[in-house]
Chains A and B, each alone.
Chain A
Amino acid sequence: MSMVRIDGLDVWFGRARDRVNAVRGAAFDVARGESFGLVGESGSGKSTILRALVGLVPTWSGHISVAGQVLAARRAKAFYKQVQMVFQDPYASLHPRHSVDAVLGETLSLHGFRDIDARVVKLLDDVGLGQRFRFRYPHQLSGGQRQRVAIARALAPEPELLLLDEPTSALDVSVQAEILNLLADLRQEHRLTYLMVSHDLSVVGHMCDRLAVMKEGEVVEIMDVDALRAGHATHPYSQHLLQASV
Protein backbone atom coordinates (compact mmCIF):
# COMPACT_ATOMS: atom_id res chain seq x y z
CA MET A 1 0.00 0.00 0.00
CA SER A 2 1.32 3.42 -0.76
CA MET A 3 2.08 5.79 2.12
CA VAL A 4 1.26 8.94 0.18
CA ARG A 5 -0.92 9.22 -2.89
CA ILE A 6 -1.34 12.57 -4.57
CA ASP A 7 -3.49 12.98 -7.65
CA GLY A 8 -4.65 16.03 -9.57
CA LEU A 9 -3.41 18.36 -6.82
CA ASP A 10 -3.86 22.08 -7.43
CA VAL A 11 -2.63 24.71 -4.96
CA TRP A 12 -3.06 28.44 -5.45
CA PHE A 13 -2.35 31.74 -3.69
CA GLY A 14 -3.95 35.17 -4.10
CA ARG A 15 -6.83 36.03 -6.33
CA ALA A 16 -7.82 37.81 -9.56
CA ARG A 17 -4.87 39.25 -11.48
CA ASP A 18 -2.40 38.34 -8.73
CA ARG A 19 -3.53 34.72 -8.45
CA VAL A 20 -0.61 32.34 -8.63
CA ASN A 21 -1.24 28.69 -9.43
CA ALA A 22 1.64 27.28 -7.42
CA VAL A 23 0.90 23.61 -8.11
CA ARG A 24 -1.03 22.35 -11.11
CA GLY A 25 -2.24 18.76 -11.43
CA ALA A 26 0.57 17.14 -9.47
CA ALA A 27 0.39 13.35 -9.18
CA PHE A 28 2.73 10.82 -7.58
CA ASP A 29 2.83 7.89 -5.17
CA VAL A 30 5.24 7.22 -2.34
CA ALA A 31 5.48 3.62 -1.18
CA ARG A 32 5.71 2.71 2.52
CA GLY A 33 9.32 2.83 3.67
CA GLU A 34 10.44 4.64 0.55
CA SER A 35 12.45 7.83 0.40
CA PHE A 36 11.04 10.08 -2.29
CA GLY A 37 12.60 13.33 -3.47
CA LEU A 38 11.01 16.44 -4.96
CA VAL A 39 13.40 18.63 -6.94
CA GLY A 40 12.96 21.76 -8.98
CA GLU A 41 13.81 25.43 -8.95
CA SER A 42 12.47 27.90 -6.40
CA GLY A 43 8.85 28.74 -7.07
CA SER A 44 8.27 25.39 -8.78
CA GLY A 45 5.86 24.37 -6.01
CA LYS A 46 7.84 21.60 -4.38
CA SER A 47 7.63 23.00 -0.83
CA THR A 48 4.01 24.00 -1.47
CA ILE A 49 3.08 20.35 -1.96
CA LEU A 50 4.52 19.53 1.47
CA ARG A 51 2.75 22.47 3.05
CA ALA A 52 -0.59 21.51 1.48
CA LEU A 53 -0.11 17.92 2.61
CA VAL A 54 0.62 18.85 6.23
CA GLY A 55 -2.22 21.39 6.38
CA LEU A 56 -0.35 24.71 6.29
CA VAL A 57 -1.98 25.84 3.03
CA PRO A 58 -5.79 25.70 2.98
CA THR A 59 -6.26 26.67 -0.71
CA TRP A 60 -5.90 23.33 -2.46
CA SER A 61 -8.07 20.91 -4.38
CA GLY A 62 -7.55 17.40 -5.65
CA HIS A 63 -6.74 14.11 -3.97
CA ILE A 64 -4.26 13.58 -1.16
CA SER A 65 -4.26 10.42 0.88
CA VAL A 66 -1.87 9.30 3.60
CA ALA A 67 -1.77 5.59 4.45
CA GLY A 68 -5.10 5.08 2.70
CA GLN A 69 -6.88 7.93 4.54
CA VAL A 70 -8.18 10.63 2.19
CA LEU A 71 -7.44 14.10 3.57
CA ALA A 72 -10.18 16.70 3.98
CA ALA A 73 -9.87 20.38 4.91
CA ARG A 74 -9.79 19.51 8.62
CA ARG A 75 -7.37 16.85 9.65
CA ALA A 76 -7.95 14.26 12.36
CA LYS A 77 -5.73 14.41 15.44
CA ALA A 78 -4.25 11.05 14.48
CA PHE A 79 -2.96 12.59 11.26
CA TYR A 80 -0.45 14.76 13.09
CA LYS A 81 0.87 11.75 14.94
CA GLN A 82 1.41 10.00 11.66
CA VAL A 83 2.93 12.87 9.68
CA GLN A 84 5.61 15.30 10.87
CA MET A 85 7.66 17.94 9.14
CA VAL A 86 11.24 19.21 9.45
CA PHE A 87 11.70 22.75 8.15
CA GLN A 88 14.49 24.33 6.19
CA ASP A 89 15.79 26.85 8.65
CA PRO A 90 16.56 25.57 12.16
CA TYR A 91 17.19 29.17 13.25
CA ALA A 92 13.56 30.08 12.56
CA SER A 93 11.74 26.87 13.44
CA LEU A 94 12.66 26.71 17.16
CA HIS A 95 11.18 29.05 19.73
CA PRO A 96 14.06 31.25 20.97
CA ARG A 97 12.80 31.34 24.58
CA HIS A 98 11.97 27.66 24.97
CA SER A 99 14.67 25.27 26.09
CA VAL A 100 15.21 21.99 24.25
CA ASP A 101 13.47 20.25 27.15
CA ALA A 102 10.41 22.53 26.84
CA VAL A 103 10.23 22.12 23.05
CA LEU A 104 10.29 18.33 23.21
CA GLY A 105 8.25 18.07 26.42
CA GLU A 106 5.44 20.24 25.08
CA THR A 107 5.26 18.28 21.84
CA LEU A 108 5.10 15.02 23.78
CA SER A 109 2.38 16.22 26.16
CA LEU A 110 0.31 17.59 23.25
CA HIS A 111 0.41 14.16 21.70
CA GLY A 112 -0.80 12.62 24.96
CA PHE A 113 2.31 10.81 26.14
CA ARG A 114 2.71 10.21 29.88
CA ASP A 115 6.33 9.10 30.29
CA ILE A 116 7.66 12.43 29.03
CA ASP A 117 10.90 12.45 31.03
CA ALA A 118 12.08 9.10 29.70
CA ARG A 119 11.02 9.97 26.17
CA VAL A 120 12.90 13.29 26.07
CA VAL A 121 16.06 11.43 27.10
CA LYS A 122 15.43 8.79 24.43
CA LEU A 123 14.77 11.39 21.70
CA LEU A 124 17.97 13.29 22.46
CA ASP A 125 19.95 10.06 22.32
CA ASP A 126 18.26 9.11 19.04
CA VAL A 127 19.43 12.28 17.32
CA GLY A 128 22.92 12.05 18.80
CA LEU A 129 22.72 15.04 21.13
CA GLY A 130 22.70 13.45 24.57
CA GLN A 131 21.75 14.66 28.03
CA ARG A 132 23.90 17.77 28.31
CA PHE A 133 21.88 19.56 25.62
CA ARG A 134 18.56 19.03 27.38
CA PHE A 135 18.32 22.34 29.22
CA ARG A 136 19.94 24.56 26.61
CA TYR A 137 18.24 27.29 24.62
CA PRO A 138 18.45 27.53 20.81
CA HIS A 139 20.99 30.38 20.92
CA GLN A 140 23.35 28.08 22.79
CA LEU A 141 23.28 25.55 19.94
CA SER A 142 24.98 25.50 16.54
CA GLY A 143 22.96 25.22 13.33
CA GLY A 144 23.53 21.48 13.09
CA GLN A 145 22.56 20.94 16.73
CA ARG A 146 19.38 22.98 16.23
CA GLN A 147 18.44 20.91 13.21
CA ARG A 148 18.96 17.80 15.37
CA VAL A 149 16.51 19.26 17.92
CA ALA A 150 14.02 19.96 15.11
CA ILE A 151 14.39 16.35 13.94
CA ALA A 152 13.90 15.10 17.52
CA ARG A 153 10.72 17.18 17.79
CA ALA A 154 9.45 15.68 14.54
CA LEU A 155 10.19 12.17 15.82
CA ALA A 156 8.44 12.78 19.17
CA PRO A 157 4.94 11.56 18.17
CA GLU A 158 6.49 8.46 16.53
CA PRO A 159 5.42 9.36 12.98
CA GLU A 160 5.47 7.06 10.00
CA LEU A 161 5.97 9.77 7.41
CA LEU A 162 8.54 12.54 7.71
CA LEU A 163 8.33 15.55 5.42
CA LEU A 164 11.75 17.11 4.98
CA ASP A 165 11.76 20.60 3.50
CA GLU A 166 15.37 21.32 2.50
CA PRO A 167 16.64 19.99 5.84
CA THR A 168 20.31 20.80 5.19
CA SER A 169 20.35 23.78 2.85
CA ALA A 170 20.93 26.24 5.72
CA LEU A 171 23.87 24.21 7.04
CA ASP A 172 27.57 23.95 6.22
CA VAL A 173 28.65 21.04 4.06
CA SER A 174 30.51 19.34 6.92
CA VAL A 175 27.38 19.59 9.11
CA GLN A 176 25.18 18.58 6.19
CA ALA A 177 27.09 15.29 6.01
CA GLU A 178 26.34 14.63 9.73
CA ILE A 179 22.63 15.41 9.36
CA LEU A 180 22.23 13.31 6.20
CA ASN A 181 23.94 10.37 7.93
CA LEU A 182 21.62 10.84 10.93
CA LEU A 183 18.52 10.91 8.71
CA ALA A 184 19.63 7.74 6.91
CA ASP A 185 20.15 5.95 10.27
CA LEU A 186 16.81 7.11 11.68
CA ARG A 187 14.95 5.95 8.61
CA GLN A 188 16.36 2.48 9.06
CA GLU A 189 15.78 2.32 12.85
CA HIS A 190 12.24 3.69 12.85
CA ARG A 191 11.16 2.35 9.41
CA LEU A 192 10.23 5.85 8.30
CA THR A 193 8.96 7.03 4.94
CA TYR A 194 10.63 10.22 3.72
CA LEU A 195 9.23 12.83 1.38
CA MET A 196 12.12 15.20 0.87
CA VAL A 197 12.29 18.53 -0.91
CA SER A 198 15.66 19.74 -2.10
CA HIS A 199 17.15 21.87 -4.80
CA ASP A 200 20.38 19.92 -4.58
CA LEU A 201 20.33 16.93 -6.92
CA SER A 202 23.36 15.33 -5.27
CA VAL A 203 21.64 15.41 -1.85
CA VAL A 204 18.50 13.83 -3.32
CA GLY A 205 20.68 11.33 -5.17
CA HIS A 206 22.30 10.39 -1.88
CA MET A 207 19.12 10.16 0.22
CA CYS A 208 16.29 9.02 -2.05
CA ASP A 209 15.15 5.99 -4.03
CA ARG A 210 12.95 7.85 -6.49
CA LEU A 211 12.34 11.49 -7.31
CA ALA A 212 9.92 13.79 -9.09
CA VAL A 213 11.20 16.77 -11.07
CA MET A 214 8.96 19.84 -10.88
CA LYS A 215 8.81 22.88 -13.10
CA GLU A 216 6.41 25.82 -12.81
CA GLY A 217 4.01 23.89 -10.61
CA GLU A 218 3.90 20.71 -12.66
CA VAL A 219 5.56 17.37 -12.16
CA VAL A 220 7.45 16.89 -15.43
CA GLU A 221 9.20 13.62 -14.71
CA ILE A 222 9.34 10.83 -12.14
CA MET A 223 12.41 8.64 -12.20
CA ASP A 224 14.53 6.48 -9.93
CA VAL A 225 17.90 7.52 -8.64
CA ASP A 226 19.85 4.99 -10.68
CA ALA A 227 18.48 6.59 -13.83
CA LEU A 228 19.47 9.98 -12.43
CA ARG A 229 23.00 8.78 -11.72
CA ALA A 230 23.33 7.30 -15.19
CA GLY A 231 22.09 10.60 -16.62
CA HIS A 232 18.97 9.01 -18.19
CA ALA A 233 16.64 11.97 -17.81
CA THR A 234 14.04 12.09 -20.57
CA HIS A 235 12.45 15.50 -20.04
CA PRO A 236 14.61 18.37 -21.36
CA TYR A 237 14.21 20.30 -18.11
CA SER A 238 15.52 17.38 -16.02
CA GLN A 239 18.48 17.09 -18.35
CA HIS A 240 19.11 20.79 -17.91
CA LEU A 241 19.00 20.42 -14.11
CA LEU A 242 21.34 17.47 -14.25
CA GLN A 243 23.84 19.34 -16.40
CA ALA A 244 23.74 22.37 -14.12
CA SER A 245 24.49 20.33 -11.01
CA VAL A 246 27.37 18.14 -12.19
Chain B
Amino acid sequence: MTAPLLDIENLWVRFPSRQGVFDAVRGVSFTLGRERLGIVGESGSGKSMTGRAILRLIRPPGQVEADHIKLDGADLLTMSEAQMRAVRGQRISMVMQDPKFSLNPVMTIGAQIIEAYRLHSKASKSEAHAKALEMLEAVSIRNPERVMRAYPHEMSGGMGQRIMIAMMLIPNPEILIADEPTSALDVSVQRQVLDIMDTLVRDRGMGLIFISHDLNLVADFCDRVLIMYAGRVVEVCDADKLHAAQHPYTQGLLNSLPRLDAPRARLDVLQRDPAWSEAASVSGRR
Protein backbone atom coordinates (compact mmCIF):
# COMPACT_ATOMS: atom_id res chain seq x y z
CA MET B 1 0.00 0.00 0.00
CA THR B 2 1.10 3.58 -0.68
CA ALA B 3 1.95 6.04 2.09
CA PRO B 4 -1.12 6.87 4.19
CA LEU B 5 -2.79 10.27 3.94
CA LEU B 6 -2.97 10.58 7.68
CA ASP B 7 -0.83 8.86 10.30
CA ILE B 8 -1.66 9.18 13.98
CA GLU B 9 0.50 7.70 16.73
CA ASN B 10 -0.37 7.54 20.42
CA LEU B 11 -2.99 10.31 20.60
CA TRP B 12 -4.11 11.51 24.02
CA VAL B 13 -6.75 14.16 24.77
CA ARG B 14 -6.86 15.35 28.38
CA PHE B 15 -9.17 17.69 30.25
CA PRO B 16 -8.09 18.87 33.69
CA SER B 17 -11.04 19.01 36.06
CA ARG B 18 -11.64 19.52 39.76
CA GLN B 19 -11.61 15.77 40.27
CA GLY B 20 -8.24 15.42 38.52
CA VAL B 21 -7.29 14.99 34.87
CA PHE B 22 -9.91 13.34 32.68
CA ASP B 23 -8.54 11.38 29.73
CA ALA B 24 -11.07 11.58 26.89
CA VAL B 25 -8.83 9.79 24.38
CA ARG B 26 -6.16 7.40 25.62
CA GLY B 27 -3.33 6.32 23.35
CA VAL B 28 -5.13 5.94 20.01
CA SER B 29 -3.05 5.11 16.91
CA PHE B 30 -4.28 4.62 13.38
CA THR B 31 -3.54 5.37 9.76
CA LEU B 32 -5.91 6.52 7.06
CA GLY B 33 -5.34 5.77 3.40
CA ARG B 34 -7.68 6.52 0.52
CA GLU B 35 -10.41 4.58 2.25
CA ARG B 36 -13.48 4.89 4.39
CA LEU B 37 -12.56 4.40 8.02
CA GLY B 38 -15.37 4.11 10.55
CA ILE B 39 -15.02 4.99 14.23
CA VAL B 40 -17.89 3.68 16.35
CA GLY B 41 -18.68 3.85 20.03
CA GLU B 42 -21.18 5.29 22.47
CA SER B 43 -21.34 8.93 23.47
CA GLY B 44 -18.40 9.70 25.71
CA SER B 45 -16.18 7.05 24.13
CA GLY B 46 -13.86 9.71 22.67
CA LYS B 47 -14.69 9.24 19.01
CA SER B 48 -15.63 12.88 18.38
CA MET B 49 -12.62 14.09 20.40
CA THR B 50 -10.36 12.04 18.14
CA GLY B 51 -11.81 13.77 15.09
CA ARG B 52 -11.47 17.22 16.63
CA ALA B 53 -7.93 16.58 17.85
CA ILE B 54 -6.79 15.90 14.26
CA LEU B 55 -7.87 19.41 13.24
CA ARG B 56 -6.51 20.87 16.51
CA LEU B 57 -9.98 22.09 17.38
CA ILE B 58 -9.73 21.25 21.07
CA ARG B 59 -9.66 24.45 23.08
CA PRO B 60 -7.74 25.01 26.28
CA PRO B 61 -7.91 23.79 29.02
CA GLY B 62 -8.12 20.64 26.92
CA GLN B 63 -4.70 19.26 25.94
CA VAL B 64 -3.78 17.21 22.90
CA GLU B 65 -0.66 15.06 22.96
CA ALA B 66 0.58 12.63 20.35
CA ASP B 67 3.85 11.23 19.07
CA HIS B 68 2.75 12.63 15.72
CA ILE B 69 -0.31 13.48 13.58
CA LYS B 70 1.08 13.48 10.06
CA LEU B 71 -0.79 14.71 7.00
CA ASP B 72 1.18 13.65 3.91
CA GLY B 73 4.32 13.55 6.06
CA ALA B 74 3.89 17.00 7.67
CA ASP B 75 3.21 17.00 11.38
CA LEU B 76 0.04 18.97 12.19
CA LEU B 77 1.09 19.35 15.82
CA THR B 78 4.10 21.55 14.97
CA MET B 79 2.23 23.83 12.52
CA SER B 80 1.45 27.45 13.32
CA GLU B 81 -2.15 28.61 13.59
CA ALA B 82 -1.84 30.31 10.18
CA GLN B 83 -0.67 27.08 8.60
CA MET B 84 -3.52 25.20 10.31
CA ARG B 85 -6.05 27.60 8.82
CA ALA B 86 -4.85 26.59 5.36
CA VAL B 87 -5.36 22.95 6.31
CA ARG B 88 -8.82 23.30 7.83
CA GLY B 89 -11.54 23.37 5.22
CA GLN B 90 -9.23 23.08 2.23
CA ARG B 91 -7.26 19.90 2.94
CA ILE B 92 -9.20 18.40 5.84
CA SER B 93 -12.85 19.26 6.12
CA MET B 94 -15.19 18.37 8.93
CA VAL B 95 -18.94 17.88 9.06
CA MET B 96 -20.04 18.36 12.64
CA GLN B 97 -22.69 16.58 14.60
CA ASP B 98 -25.38 19.20 14.95
CA PRO B 99 -26.31 21.60 12.14
CA LYS B 100 -28.14 23.79 14.65
CA PHE B 101 -24.83 24.78 16.23
CA SER B 102 -22.68 24.85 13.12
CA LEU B 103 -24.79 27.09 10.89
CA ASN B 104 -24.90 30.84 11.47
CA PRO B 105 -28.46 31.63 12.63
CA VAL B 106 -28.51 35.20 11.27
CA MET B 107 -27.27 34.52 7.71
CA THR B 108 -29.29 32.97 4.93
CA ILE B 109 -28.23 29.49 3.84
CA GLY B 110 -27.22 30.77 0.42
CA ALA B 111 -24.97 33.52 1.82
CA GLN B 112 -23.20 31.00 4.08
CA ILE B 113 -22.48 28.48 1.35
CA ILE B 114 -21.26 31.20 -1.02
CA GLU B 115 -19.02 32.65 1.68
CA ALA B 116 -17.50 29.25 2.43
CA TYR B 117 -16.85 28.62 -1.25
CA ARG B 118 -15.35 32.02 -2.03
CA LEU B 119 -13.03 31.83 0.97
CA HIS B 120 -11.22 28.95 -0.69
CA SER B 121 -11.48 29.85 -4.37
CA LYS B 122 -11.50 32.96 -6.54
CA ALA B 123 -14.93 32.37 -8.00
CA SER B 124 -17.20 35.31 -8.79
CA LYS B 125 -20.45 35.78 -6.87
CA SER B 126 -22.61 34.45 -9.69
CA GLU B 127 -20.37 31.42 -10.19
CA ALA B 128 -20.48 30.72 -6.47
CA HIS B 129 -24.26 31.09 -6.50
CA ALA B 130 -24.58 28.56 -9.33
CA LYS B 131 -22.15 26.20 -7.58
CA ALA B 132 -24.09 26.48 -4.31
CA LEU B 133 -27.35 25.62 -6.08
CA GLU B 134 -25.69 22.67 -7.77
CA MET B 135 -24.30 21.39 -4.44
CA LEU B 136 -27.69 21.73 -2.75
CA GLU B 137 -29.21 19.68 -5.53
CA ALA B 138 -26.40 17.13 -5.17
CA VAL B 139 -27.41 16.56 -1.56
CA SER B 140 -30.99 16.11 -2.83
CA ILE B 141 -32.63 19.21 -1.43
CA ARG B 142 -35.92 19.91 -3.13
CA ASN B 143 -36.51 23.49 -4.16
CA PRO B 144 -32.93 24.79 -3.63
CA GLU B 145 -33.91 28.35 -4.64
CA ARG B 146 -36.20 28.66 -1.63
CA VAL B 147 -33.59 27.08 0.66
CA MET B 148 -30.94 29.60 -0.48
CA ARG B 149 -33.21 32.43 0.76
CA ALA B 150 -34.12 30.69 4.00
CA TYR B 151 -32.51 30.95 7.46
CA PRO B 152 -31.25 27.92 9.40
CA HIS B 153 -34.17 27.91 11.89
CA GLU B 154 -36.57 27.36 8.98
CA MET B 155 -34.85 24.10 8.08
CA SER B 156 -35.54 20.68 9.58
CA GLY B 157 -32.59 18.90 11.20
CA GLY B 158 -32.12 16.65 8.22
CA MET B 159 -32.07 19.51 5.77
CA GLY B 160 -29.62 21.44 7.94
CA GLN B 161 -27.23 18.52 7.95
CA ARG B 162 -27.43 18.14 4.18
CA ILE B 163 -26.64 21.85 3.85
CA MET B 164 -23.58 21.36 6.09
CA ILE B 165 -22.39 18.48 3.93
CA ALA B 166 -22.85 20.57 0.79
CA MET B 167 -20.87 23.42 2.35
CA MET B 168 -18.01 21.18 3.46
CA LEU B 169 -17.66 19.37 0.15
CA ILE B 170 -17.56 22.49 -2.03
CA PRO B 171 -13.78 23.19 -1.45
CA ASN B 172 -13.00 19.61 -2.50
CA PRO B 173 -10.82 18.53 0.46
CA GLU B 174 -8.40 15.55 0.62
CA ILE B 175 -9.79 14.23 3.87
CA LEU B 176 -13.33 14.52 5.15
CA ILE B 177 -14.01 13.93 8.82
CA ALA B 178 -17.70 13.28 9.17
CA ASP B 179 -18.89 13.34 12.78
CA GLU B 180 -22.28 11.64 12.89
CA PRO B 181 -23.20 13.25 9.57
CA THR B 182 -26.33 11.22 9.03
CA SER B 183 -27.68 10.62 12.52
CA ALA B 184 -30.14 13.50 12.04
CA LEU B 185 -31.28 12.10 8.70
CA ASP B 186 -33.79 9.38 8.01
CA VAL B 187 -32.94 6.11 6.41
CA SER B 188 -34.01 6.96 2.89
CA VAL B 189 -32.01 10.19 2.75
CA GLN B 190 -29.16 8.64 4.72
CA ARG B 191 -28.49 6.31 1.84
CA GLN B 192 -28.46 9.18 -0.68
CA VAL B 193 -26.08 11.29 1.40
CA LEU B 194 -23.79 8.31 1.94
CA ASP B 195 -23.81 7.63 -1.78
CA ILE B 196 -22.76 11.24 -2.43
CA MET B 197 -19.90 10.92 0.06
CA ASP B 198 -18.99 7.54 -1.41
CA THR B 199 -18.75 9.00 -4.91
CA LEU B 200 -16.45 11.76 -3.65
CA VAL B 201 -14.18 9.36 -1.82
CA ARG B 202 -13.83 7.14 -4.87
CA ASP B 203 -13.68 9.76 -7.64
CA ARG B 204 -11.28 12.18 -6.01
CA GLY B 205 -9.32 9.68 -3.95
CA MET B 206 -10.38 11.30 -0.69
CA GLY B 207 -9.91 9.72 2.70
CA LEU B 208 -12.99 9.59 4.90
CA ILE B 209 -13.17 9.27 8.67
CA PHE B 210 -16.73 8.38 9.46
CA ILE B 211 -17.63 8.81 13.12
CA SER B 212 -20.91 7.19 14.08
CA HIS B 213 -22.76 5.33 16.80
CA ASP B 214 -24.71 3.33 14.22
CA LEU B 215 -23.04 -0.06 13.90
CA ASN B 216 -25.10 -1.32 11.01
CA LEU B 217 -24.52 1.81 8.99
CA VAL B 218 -20.77 1.63 9.53
CA ALA B 219 -20.68 -2.08 8.72
CA ASP B 220 -22.49 -1.29 5.51
CA PHE B 221 -20.66 1.80 4.43
CA CYS B 222 -17.03 1.72 5.59
CA ASP B 223 -14.01 -0.39 4.66
CA ARG B 224 -12.48 -0.63 8.11
CA VAL B 225 -13.85 0.03 11.59
CA LEU B 226 -12.31 1.09 14.90
CA ILE B 227 -14.49 0.36 17.91
CA MET B 228 -13.90 2.74 20.82
CA TYR B 229 -14.82 2.37 24.46
CA ALA B 230 -13.87 4.83 27.23
CA GLY B 231 -11.22 6.58 25.14
CA ARG B 232 -9.50 3.46 23.83
CA VAL B 233 -9.77 1.42 20.68
CA VAL B 234 -10.96 -2.00 21.85
CA GLU B 235 -11.20 -3.68 18.46
CA VAL B 236 -10.23 -3.08 14.84
CA CYS B 237 -11.85 -5.09 12.10
CA ASP B 238 -12.87 -5.07 8.47
CA ALA B 239 -16.34 -3.59 8.18
CA ASP B 240 -17.88 -6.60 6.46
CA LYS B 241 -16.73 -8.80 9.38
CA LEU B 242 -18.19 -6.52 12.07
CA HIS B 243 -21.06 -8.88 12.77
CA ALA B 244 -18.54 -11.59 13.63
CA ALA B 245 -16.79 -9.23 16.09
CA GLN B 246 -14.98 -10.83 19.01
CA HIS B 247 -15.05 -8.19 21.74
CA PRO B 248 -17.97 -8.57 24.18
CA TYR B 249 -18.63 -4.81 24.00
CA THR B 250 -19.12 -4.91 20.23
CA GLN B 251 -21.31 -7.98 20.56
CA GLY B 252 -23.37 -6.33 23.32
CA LEU B 253 -23.96 -3.27 21.17
CA LEU B 254 -25.06 -5.39 18.22
CA ASN B 255 -27.45 -7.41 20.39
CA SER B 256 -29.14 -4.36 21.87
CA LEU B 257 -30.49 -3.29 18.47
CA PRO B 258 -34.12 -4.01 17.63
CA ARG B 259 -34.42 -5.94 14.39
CA LEU B 260 -37.26 -6.16 11.92
CA ASP B 261 -36.52 -9.73 10.90
CA ALA B 262 -36.15 -11.06 14.46
CA PRO B 263 -38.89 -9.70 16.75
CA ARG B 264 -38.30 -9.99 20.50
CA ALA B 265 -40.45 -9.02 23.46
CA ARG B 266 -37.52 -7.44 25.29
CA LEU B 267 -34.22 -6.07 24.06
CA ASP B 268 -30.90 -7.16 25.53
CA VAL B 269 -29.31 -4.56 27.77
CA LEU B 270 -25.54 -4.15 27.64
CA GLN B 271 -23.70 -5.48 30.72
CA ARG B 272 -20.49 -3.49 31.15
CA ASP B 273 -17.24 -5.02 32.33
CA PRO B 274 -14.76 -2.63 34.06
CA ALA B 275 -11.89 -4.58 32.47
CA TRP B 276 -12.83 -3.18 29.03
CA SER B 277 -11.65 0.31 29.90
CA GLU B 278 -8.41 -0.93 31.51
CA ALA B 279 -7.10 -2.96 28.57
CA ALA B 280 -4.51 -1.31 26.31
CA SER B 281 -5.63 0.41 23.12
CA VAL B 282 -5.52 -1.69 19.96
CA SER B 283 -3.57 -0.12 17.10
CA GLY B 284 -5.42 0.71 13.89
CA ARG B 285 -2.26 1.05 11.79
CA ARG B 286 -1.67 -0.90 8.69
Contact = CB atoms under 8 A, between A and B. Distances in A.
Interface stretch (A64-72, A157-165, A199-207): A199-207
Contact of A173 (B159, B215, B264, B265): B215
Interface string A182-222: 00100000000000000111110110000000000000000
Contacts of A3: none
Interface string B231-247: 00000000000000000
B188 A240 contact: yes
A174 B253 contact: yes
Interface in B175-213: 183-191, 213
Interface stretch (B50-58, B78-86, B254-262): B254-262
A228 interface: yes
A241 B188 contact: yes
Given A172-B213, A173-B253, A244 B190 contact: yes
Contacts of B213: 172-173
Contacts, number: 87
A198 to B, nearest CB: 9
A206 B263 contact: yes
B78 to A, nearest CB: 36
Contact of B184 (A42, A174, A180): A42
A181 B269 contact: yes
Interface residues of B, number: 36
A43 B142 CA distance: 11
A200 B269 contact: no
Contacts of A205: 258, 260, 263
A115 interface: no
Contact of A143 (B43, B184, B268): B43
Nearest to B161: A42
A27 to B, nearest CB: 22
A199 B157 contact: no
A200 B157 CA distance: 15
A48 B257 CA distance: 27
A201 B258 CA distance: 9
A173 B188 contact: no
A43 B156 contact: yes
A228 B259 CA distance: 12
Given A174-B253, A174-B270, A184-B266, A244 B191 contact: yes
Contacts of B269: 174, 177-178, 181
A138 interface: no
B80 to A, nearest CB: 36
A41 interface: yes
A186 B240 CA distance: 38
B258 A180 contact: yes
Interface string B208-229: 0000011100000000000000
Contacts of A136: none
A169 B252 CA distance: 19
Contacts of A199: 185-187
Nearest to A216: B142
A110 interface: no
A172 B269 CA distance: 12
B256 A241 contact: no
A42 B191 contact: no
B259 A202 contact: yes
B260 A174 contact: no
Contacts of A177: 256-258, 267-270
B187 A180 contact: no
Interface in A19-46: 40-43
Contact of B260 (A43, A176, A181, A202): A202
Contacts of B150: 18
A173 B146 CA distance: 36
User: Which 10 pairs of residues, A with B, have the shortest CB-CB distance?
Assistant: A42-B158, A206-B258, A199-B186, A177-B267, A174-B270, A177-B256, A172-B42, A41-B186, A244-B187, A245-B187
19 contacts: A41-B158, A41-B186, A41-B187, A41-B188, A42-B156, A42-B157, A43-B158, A172-B42, A173-B42, A177-B258, A177-B267, A177-B268, A178-B269, A202-B258, A206-B263, A241-B187, A241-B188, A245-B260, A246-B260
Interface of B: 42-43, 146, 150, 156-159, 183-191, 213-215, 252-253, 256-261, 263-270
